[in-house]
Structure formats: C-alpha cells, structure tokens
Chains A and B, each alone.
Chain A
Amino acid sequence: EPEVTQTPSHQVTQMGQEVILRCVPISNHLYFYWYRQILGQKVEFLVSFYNNEISEKSEIFDDQFSVERPDGSNFTLKIRSTKLEDSAMYFCASSEGLRARTYNSPLHFGNGTRLTVT
C-alpha cells in the first residue's frame, strides 16, 4: 500500500536556526497537509496545500512557517527561526481530495519528524 514518507525521523536544531522538514506524499493525492503534536497534547492542524498554493492555515502557521512543493513529489515545511515551543512531532499527510457523501478518502499520515529545538 502506498504511504507518506517523511525525513528525517528526528531533527535537533538550535533556537533561531532554520529547519526544513521533508515529505513525499502519496503520488496520486491532490491535497497535502502538515499537522503537529506537541508532547502530551493533541494533534493540531497547521496548513493545507492544494494546486500549488495554501488552501487553509491555522493561527499557529505564522510568518515563520512556509510550505513548498518544489517538484512533483516533495512537500516541505520550513521554519525560518525556530523557537523552543516549536519542539513537536510534525506529521505530513495527504489525501485524494475527492469525496462522496459516503466518505472513503481518508487522510494518510506519515510517521512524523520529531523536531527538538534546544
């Protein structure tokens, strides 16, 4: 079964540094997402991306964050100047973006990148 892959699995960075988290969504999917989970908290929506532009973003996704689909396969999340509170597990997800009322197009998540900001 096709899957969403994320690299690296763990990223350690110093406060103020830029990080880029990488994802390869499922190839025939049209919508791409980033979610994050701070340790012990719930999974939170960051941003959705469709047709080469941001479809929706949360209040968490401020000017320090950006997303890009640089080629036909990769989808990246960049944090320009990391803060301690950015430490979290970041999940990439993708979906077909097609839905009937029966709903058979669930979000497929990658295994996440654990970002540690020191």
Chain B
Amino acid sequence: DQQVKQNSPSLSVQEGRISILNCDYTNSMFDYFLWYKKYPAEGPTFLISISSIKDKNEDGRFTVFLNKSAKHLSLHIVPSQPGDSAVYFCAAFREGSNFGNEKLTFGTGTRLTIIP
C-alpha cells in the first residue's frame, strides 16, 4: 500500500540550476508533509515541512509546494549545490488523536545528483 510515492528514483541537475523533486500521496487524511535528506551511512535529516492548510513553505534555498487537489507536493532547491547530492525522501503523517506522535509514512526516495 504505497500511500506516498516518489516516481523518479533518480535526478541529475547542473550546479546552480533548480532541482525539482516530486511526491504524490493517496491518503487525503495526512496533516503534515515533510522532506528528509539522507547521505549514505547516515540517518534521514529533516529539511522542510508543510502543513496541509498551506500551499507553500520556504526556507532559504528550499521551497515546498503542496497541491491538495492533486495530492501532490514538490521540493524546489535553488540554486542547487554539490552538497545537495543525496537521497531525498518525502514523508507524511496524520496527526489524528495521538497528538505528538509522528508516525511517518515515507516515499521510496529520489537520488539527486548535482553535476558540478
């Protein structure tokens, strides 16, 4: 049951250009969406999140867009830097009655490679 899907397993982008990573979800009950970045031999690192009541959240070079009607979100990185090369995971959770519990449902990840 793939509630969160990242259909592109890999993406290559020239340094300085925009990287756009996409994510689709099927569960309309999700309240929050997150992007995590993962380097080899490390755990996922939180990047940016967005609440389901918003359609955009920006933090420095990272912007997340949420299209609830399409059940789609995207992460924009601009400008892309070599250090951005990593696997990016989209994740989501439903707050429900268990406030504070962050049971994340992850996508399968997109490997981003920034070409110098």
Contact = CB atoms under 8 A, between A and B. Distances in A.
B74 interface: no
Contacts of B41: 111-112
Given A42-B107, A43-B44, A108-B46, A103 B32 contact: yes
Given A106-B46, A107-B46, A108-B46, A45 B105 contact: yes
Size bracket, chain A contacts = 20 to 34
Given A56-B98, A110-B43, A111-B43, A45 B104 contact: yes
B65 to A, nearest CB: 16
A75 interface: no
A98 to B, nearest CB: 6
B103 A95 contact: no
A55 B89 contact: no
Contacts of A108: 46
Nearest to A40: B108
B51 A102 contact: yes
B100 A45 contact: no
A103 B108 contact: no
B70 interface: no
Contacts, number: 69
A56 B36 CA distance: 22
Contacts of A42: 89, 106-109
B104 A30 contact: no
Interface string B32-65: 1010100001111110010101000000000000
B100 A97 contact: yes
Nearest to B107: A42
Interface string B76-109: 0000000000000101000100111111111111
A31 B102 CA distance: 8
B101 A50 contact: yes
23 contacts: A31-B100, A33-B102, A33-B103, A42-B89, A42-B107, A43-B104, A45-B104, A48-B101, A48-B102, A50-B100, A56-B98, A91-B44, A93-B43, A96-B100, A99-B99, A101-B53, A102-B51, A106-B34, A106-B49, A107-B104, A108-B46, A109-B44, A109-B45
